[in-house]
Amino acid sequence: MKMKTILAAGAMSVAAIAANNAHAGAVLDGIKAKGFVQCGVNTGVPGFSAANAEGKWEGIDVDVCRAISAAVLGDANKVQYTPMTAAQRFTALQSGEIDILSRNTTATLTRDAKLGLTFVGINYYDGQGFMVPKALGVKNVSELDGATICVEPGTTTELNMADYFRAKGMSFQPVVIENINETTAAFFAGRCDVYTTDASGLASVRQTMAPNPDDYVILPEIISKEPLGPSVAQGDDQWADVARWAMFAMLEAEEYGVTSENVDEMKKSESPAIQRLLGVSPGMGEALGLDEEWAYRIIKQVGNYGESFKVNVTDKLGLERGINALWTNGGLQYAWPVR
């Protein structure tokens, strides 16, 4: 009797694990079942993802997760955040610990093809820069020969820097600390001459963590392309579609002038493009496996891309749109049409 119970329990648990094997749509079904989106974010880069004084997560990376949650679950606040270091992020996504990684992550060939990730879009076009204390008197990167440089491990930044210094025939001494807060603390304590990361990250760190922001300068050179965007695990295309179009919906809304303020009036708009976006003329939501109000909720609860950018990046860090302007304004942000 006892033996039979044990065997039955064993068989059941094996069956349960086997049933867990992913199939297309599994992530979306899982999210609907558990009732929240598990979102991997940075441990703290104000403007992108950081917890505010009340412990609420804010930033343009956070808004991507909020948009998806609004589209899928009807409520932008049904997101659980997992702060992760650069070194942890991909493993967490591969193993299914998080549903989406929205952590100012550069899209590269290796990551897209070899790490089992699918980048669903670019929410911030960036490039790598260098920050130094003003007292050092350095005016540009070519004067940095022999410098000690603080950098986060497992980043494209770490590789770009090695490439750049090698190409210029200069030497450097890296100081590599896993947690960004420890890294910046080491830099401000004088452990390194230079801190390097994406230019937006430098602005964020200088603005929010420096004892006195005016004591530090960001050097003019940008040494790399860093297209930053959210990614999902490969193997579930439907989920990747939902994430991609949640981002595009925010861009489309900005392009058509739909904001969180006027979205209700815009439902009466005569423009076919706006009618499609807001679900007045149906079909788009169904195609994604969602209801027709998906984009309406994103815009209503999170806002369009321009609103998110202004609140999080321009107001907090003082960074202008630059190349992140819409294509209609000469920038790179260009959504595929919702139709």
Partner 1 sequence: MSKTQNTPGGVRSKTVADYLNDENIRAIIYQIVAIGLVVLAGWYLVSNTLANLERQNISTGYGFLNLEASFGISESMIDYTPQSNYATALMVGFLNTVKVAFLGIILCTIIGTIFGVARLSSNWIVRKLATVYVETFRNIPVLLQLFFWYAIIPGAFPAARNAFQPLPDVLLTNRGMYIPVPVADNAYDFMGIAAIIAFIVIYFVKKWASKRLDATGQPFPIVWASLGIFFGLALLAYLVGGAPTAMDIPALKGFNIQGGYNISPEFMSVLIGLTIYTSTYVAEVVRSGIQAVPNGQWEAAESLGLKRSIALRKIILPQSMRVAIPPLTNQYLNLTKNSSLAVAVGYPDLVSISNTTMNQTGQAIEAISIYMAVYLGLSLITSLFMNWFNKKMALVER
Q: Which residues bind partner 1 (CB under 8 A)?
A: 10, 14, 17, 21-22, 86-87, 90-91, 94, 110-111, 113-116, 136, 144-148, 153-155, 158-159, 161-163, 166, 172-179, 182-183, 185-186, 189-191, 193, 233-235
Residue 97 per-residue DSSP state:
S
**For 128, how many CA atoms within 13 A lie in the half-sphere containing its CB?**
22
**Residue 186 or 280 having the CB closest to partner 1:** 186
**Residue 143 or 221 having the CB closest to partner 1:** 143
**Residue 105 or 123 having the CB closest to partner 1:** 105
Closest distance of CB 147 from partner 1, Å: 5
- Phi, psi for 167 (deg, rounded to 5): -60, -35
**Residue 67 or 192 having the CB closest to partner 1:** 192
Q: What is the three-class DSSP state of 228? A: strand
**Residue 74 or 96 having the CB closest to partner 1:** 96
Q: Report the C-alpha dihedral over residues 311, 313, 314, 316, rounded to 10 degrees.
A: 80
CB 89 within 8 A of CB 40: yes
Question: Integer distance in angstroms from the first to the last C-alpha of the chain?
Answer: 62
Sign of CA dihedral 168, 170, 176, 180: negative
Closest distance of CB 88 from partner 1, Å: 8
- Phi, psi for 315 (deg, rounded to 5): -70, -40
Closest distance of CB 177 from partner 1, Å: 4
CB 246 within 8 A of CB 265: no
- Phi, psi for 157 (deg, rounded to 5): -55, -45
Closest distance of CB 61 from partner 1, Å: 18
Closest distance of CB 220 from partner 1, Å: 19
**Residue 96 or 331 having the CB closest to partner 1:** 96
* Residues 6+ away with beta carbon under 8 Å from 80: 36, 37, 38, 39
Closest distance of CB 149 from partner 1, Å: 8
CA angle 274, 275, 278 (to 5 degrees): 80
Closest distance of CB 236 from partner 1, Å: 9
**Residue 113 or 332 having the CB closest to partner 1:** 113
